[in-house]
Amino acid sequence: MASVHSTPRRQSARRLVVACLAACVGVIALDSLLFRTGLYTAILEPDSSTGLFEMVLRRNLDAQEHHGNRMVATFGNSRFAWSPKVVDQRPGPHKYVLCDAGVAGSDARAWYYMIRDLDPTARRYRALVFGVDDYDDEDRFYNPSDDIRDLHYVIERLRLYDVFEFARSFDSRELQFAALRGGLLKGIVFQNDLHAFLADPRKRLEYVSLCDRFRNMWVYNFEETTNSMAGLEIDWQTLKVTFPPGLNDDQIATVNSFLAHQPEPQIGRIAAFQRTWYGRIIDRYRGSPTKIVFLRLPRGPIPRPDNLTHKLSSSIREFASRPNVILLDEHAFESLEHPELFRDGMHLNREGIRQFSYMLEDEITRVLDGAGK
């Protein structure tokens, strides 16, 4: 009797197990069909985090076809603001072609995944240039490891085998789970974008087409505001700020959050983050002719004194001992640290960008030529 009963029970258990496994495979297959084949990339909102990241990546892939091996790619967030147009219009020969691969709000983790697809052989560029806030490590109010925006930037670049490693790179359990979930089933990350597309597909397609045709031109011709922070004063003893008249809330907020803030406890999280992600980028280029260049960006309209925070480490300086890593003189861009050249507490204005673009090209040419000798 027992076997009569147990056989159908075993069969039904087997059926359920097979069905559950097949369902998991099925949903990953459906997800992959839509989001891992490039099908959805074609209709992605151009102004979304993913859309911007992908646009920058595509622009740089296109540039590779035109400029051969003279290319130098720059990676940074919105603070690493230089203008390709200003550089191109500068008289005289340009030994290297500078390409902007920076994305506002991005960080080394996002750049790692971009670089992996931008340069699969690790030999396409003469140099990769990274703009950093400081060569010393200063922990700020945010934890860079827990910046979930990275998931949205790199989602198109994540492969199935990346997912666990990428998820583990977040510190909080909640974000690890969100990254794991989103990496496995990309539809969850693209959900809002998909809903916006479905709300008005025609409008989206028209905008995508418009951006495909003109976006690079818009970006190339974009000119930053001429607003400046002239008149800004900061008393570093009391952190009291005297603002010039007529500033808007954003300008004031950037000064308060980026410059005139109390030091945070130094617990080494920025050092750990940079060691991990710049470390991985540098490891990719071990034995490659491509140079990895770090530069310290202009620190602000009035630079924050070094003695305000007791910085415990300098992960960027540690990289200088690697064979293909170059650190530009950290004082190279200090001449730009004037309120007249900044539009807010952290970003250069039009004139600042113009001067920075020239200096950047000169510095890159100088160190690469020097490295070549």
Interface positions with another protein (CB under 8 A): 8-9, 11-13, 15-16, 18-27, 29-31, 185, 187-188, 191, 194-195, 198-201
Whose Cβ is closer to another protein: residue 187's or residue 289's? Answer: 187
State in Å, rounded, how far the first CA of the chain is from the last one: 88
- Cβ neighbours of 361 (radius 10 Å): 20
Q: Are strands 240-242 and 233-235 parallel, antiparallel or unpaired?
A: antiparallel
Task: Give the closest residue to 52 by CA, choosing from 130, 10, 114.
Answer: 114
Distance of CA 350 to the CA centre of its chain: 22
Whose Cβ is closer to another protein: residue 14's or residue 95's? Answer: 14
**Cβ–Cβ under 8 Å, residues 83 and 353:** yes
Q: How far is the CB of 227 from another protein (least distance, A)?
A: 35
Burial of 72 (0-12, 13-18, 19+ CB in 10 A): buried
**Cβ–Cβ under 8 Å, residues 336 and 246:** no
Q: How far is the CB of 29 from another protein (least distance, A)?
A: 8
**Cβ–Cβ under 8 Å, residues 148 and 106:** no
Q: How far is the CB of 38 from another protein (least distance, A)?
A: 18
Q: How far is the CB of 43 from another protein (least distance, A)?
A: 14
Q: How far is 259 from 136, CA to CA, in rounded Å?
A: 16
**Cβ–Cβ under 8 Å, residues 133 and 297:** yes
Q: How far is the CB of 180 from another protein (least distance, A)?
A: 13
Contacts of 62 (CB under 8 A, 6+ apart): none
Whose Cβ is closer to another protein: residue 44's or residue 367's? Answer: 44
Burial of 143 (0-12, 13-18, 19+ CB in 10 A): middle
Q: How far is the CB of 160 from another protein (least distance, A)?
A: 15
Q: How far is the CB of 107 from another protein (least distance, A)?
A: 22
